[in-house]
Chains A and B, each alone.
Chain A
């Protein structure tokens, strides 16, 4: 065990955890005043629910010994995180467990942006449980679980997932498992739940752009843990991923702002914040396999591509409210495929992409991995969403949606806009208090 590696991975895990509250601000600022709390709660509920699942059986699903075909880990092996006081590589296994847990949390939270303002909170929590279990945990196994062989004997001591091992597609920190996965799921849910009342005719302006920029800043900060932490050590690979995470993101902001300046006449703050996320998404799979120049190329193209892609929903008529598809699916696809183009053998990954004389070998591996996750996630999510909609109901009723989901689903309002004593607190009896709490404040 290496203490430096361990310290870095545990620090990284805490950084990645901060990304989910950061995402809550990023998304929360983009919705209207009447639904900011619900938007943020969809992230916070993911922090709660996915963590519990991870401890109970999620880690075992994802990182248990493969039960066949590289499709799923042995669900019983690490049930309740039993028997994990051990080392993996140079770090304690539990440090790795914690690091991977926060990835699962943010992936679920990312999806929520596609269904802003209109999903019943209980249904969302139910979706979180089902989706994490049958979509995220298996896909994490495919992508993140590497086969381990004993160096001395050459015997296989642990069998991992098919994308990481059989296909050998590169996904450094989750371009497929996290972003393509969440993006495809977002698209499926947006289709199942349908458009918000009034979309796209009614103006649905972001209610707090400083929140969006705060969230983007927190995401960027946390993402250094996401990418550089994925080296699972404090070493050259981590440093490369760190610099790439800085460079690609900066280039993506430039790309997004220039696109807006040319197309709309102004570079906007929402565009800059979105550029941050687009760049981070695109460099995620590639952070360990491209040079800093390669990361600038990936970043600037991600900025331009995603700035254009967020308009697709208007053309095709799906209400992906906060552009999970335009940013995470498109950015994730671009980053994952870009490895096949600009990967460099001078990096620790040791693979050349098409533009560096590596041929199309890596490119097709990347494409198979990317589209397999896309298809699996989209189809499964669509089915899960439909079943929830047909049974307990996923979509909020129209009246509550128009009045505001915060009041209806949480009995709260984010901002006290009253000028006087419009909110009273009865002290008479417990029953009176209960009644008051269940009422929506006017």
Chain B
């Protein structure tokens, strides 16, 4: 099993969610995140005083998938989240030792 984590532009979240649902992903965890990559934030001006806001709002999406689906799911996310402009975000994959469904106590792939 693998954990796919995606940090994407918040306005692309609905499209990514819809694409994952179409693909057949059963669940996901979404949280608000902030950060920056190579785009290094933006500037804001308050009463003439300029502020550099380096941490920009992002959505962080996490999906647990079976090993066989990893490449496809990651691909679905990347396609749906891309705008081609700077700040589109990143997707990464980490190995997961075990998954347990809290309600039933099932382990591994059965718990996905």
Bind each other: yes
Selected from B46, B52, B53, the residue in CB contact (under 8 A) with A268 is B46
* Binary per-residue interface labels of chain B (46-78) against chain A in the complex, 1 for a CB within 8 Å, 0 otherwise: 111111110000000000000000000000000
A229 an interface residue at 8 Å Cβ cutoff? Answer: no
Q: Cβ of A205 and Cβ of B47 under 8 Å apart?
A: no
Q: Are A271 and B47 in contact, CB atoms less than 8 angstroms apart?
A: yes
Determine whether A311 belongs to the interface, using a CB cutoff of 8 Å to chain B.
yes
How far, in Å, is B56 (CB) from chain A's closest CB? 13
B86 on the interface (CB 8 Å rule)?
Answer: no
Contact string, B13-52, partner A, CB cutoff 8 A, digits 1/0? 0000000000000000000000000000000111111111
B47 touches A270 (CB 8 A): yes
Cβ-defined contact, B51 with A268, below 8 A: no
Nearest CB to that of A311 among chain B residues? B48
CB-based contact A314/B49 at 8 Å? yes
A275-307 near B? 1/0 per residue, CB < 8 Å: 000000000000000000000000000000001
**Within the assembled complex, what's the spacing in Å between the Cα atoms of A200 and B53?**
15
Is A171 on the interface with B (CB-CB < 8 A)?
no
Cα distance, A263 to B50, chains bound together (Å) = 11
A205 contacts which chain B residues (CB < 8 A)? 44, 46, 51, 53
- Inter-chain CA distance A266–B47, complex, in Å, is 11
Q: Is the interface of B mostly helix, strand, loop or mixed?
A: strand
Of B44, B47, B51, B52, which one neighbours A310 at CB under 8 angstroms?
Answer: B47
When chains A and B are docked, how far (Å) is the Cα of A311 from the Cα of B48? Answer: 7
Interface residues of A in 304-332 (CB under 8 A from B): 307-308, 310-311, 314, 323, 326
| CB pair B45 A310 closer than 8 Å | no
CB atoms of B49 and A311 under 8 A apart: yes
Closest A residue to B54 by beta carbon equals A203
Min distance, Cβ B31 to any Cβ of chain A, angstroms: 10
Tell me whether A260 is interfacial, beta carbon within 8 Å.
yes
Task: Name A314's closest neighbour in chain B (CB-CB).
Answer: B49
Q: Does A230 lie at the interface of the complex (its beta carbon under 8 Å from any beta carbon of B)? A: no
Number of A-B residue pairs at CB separation under 8 A: 34
Interface size in chain B (residues, C-beta < 8 A) = 10
Query: Within the assembled complex, what's the spacing in Å between the Cα atoms of A200 and B51?
Result: 10
User: What is the CB-to-nearest-CB distance from B24 to chain A, in angstroms, rounded to a whole number?
Assistant: 29
* Chain A, residue nearest B49 (CB): A314
A206 at the interface (CB under 8 A from B): yes
Complex Cα spacing A183 to B52, Å: 29
CA distance A206 to B45 in the complex (A): 11
Residues of B within 8 A of A268 (CB): 45-46
CB contacts (< 8 Å) of B49 on chain A: these are: 200, 311, 314
A203 touches B53 (CB 8 A): yes
Q: Which of B48, B51, B53 contacts A260 (CB 8 A)?
A: B48
| Inter-chain contacts of A203 with B (CB < 8 A) | 51-53
Most central of A203, A205, A260, A266 by chain B CB within 10 Å? A203
State how many angstroms separate the Cβ of A189 from the closest Cβ of chain B.
19
Residue ID in chain A nearest B46 by CB atoms: A270
| CB-CB contacts below 8 Å: A241-270 with B | 260, 263-266, 268, 270
- Chain A residue numbers with a CB within 8 Å of B53 are 203, 205
B3: min CB distance to chain A, Å: 21
Does the CB pair B51–A264 fall under 8 Å? no
Residues of chain A within 8 A of B47, CB atoms compared: 270-271, 274, 307, 310-311, 323, 326
Name the distance in Å between A331's Cβ and chain B's nearest Cβ: 14
Query: Which A residues between 415 and 441 are near B, CB-CB below 8 angstroms?
Result: none
| Min distance, Cβ B54 to any Cβ of chain A, angstroms | 9
Most buried by B among A264, A270, A311, A314: A264
Contact string against B for A residues 360-382, beta-carbon threshold 8 Å, 1 for contact and 0 otherwise: 00000000000000000000000
Give the shortest distance, in Å, between B92 (CB) and chain A (any CB). Answer: 24
In the bound complex, residues from chain A placing their C-beta under 8 Å from that of B51 are 203, 205
Nearest CB in chain A: distance from B49 CB, A: 7
A264 touches B45 (CB 8 A): yes
A266 to B48, CA, bound (A): 10
- Tell me which residues from 146 to 185 in chain A have a Cβ below 8 Å from any Cβ of chain B: none
Task: Give the CA-CA distance A271 to B46 in the complex, in Å.
Answer: 8
Given A265-B45, A314-B49, 17 other A-B residues pairs in contact with their CB atoms under 8 A: A203-B51, A205-B44, A205-B46, A205-B51, A205-B53, A206-B46, A260-B45, A260-B48, A263-B48, A264-B45, A264-B50, A266-B45, A268-B45, A271-B47, A274-B47, A311-B47, A323-B47
9 nearest A-B residue pairs (beta carbon) = A203-B51, A264-B45, A310-B47, A311-B48, A270-B46, A205-B51, A310-B48, A270-B47, A206-B46
Q: Which chain B residues have a beta carbon within 8 Å of chain A's beta carbons?
A: 44-53
Listed by A's residue number, 29 A-B pairs whose Cβ atoms lie within 8 Å are A200-B49, A203-B52, A203-B53, A205-B44, A205-B46, A205-B51, A205-B53, A206-B46, A260-B45, A260-B48, A263-B48, A264-B45, A264-B50, A265-B45, A268-B46, A270-B46, A270-B47, A271-B47, A274-B47, A307-B47, A307-B48, A308-B48, A310-B48, A311-B47, A311-B48, A311-B49, A314-B49, A323-B47, A326-B47
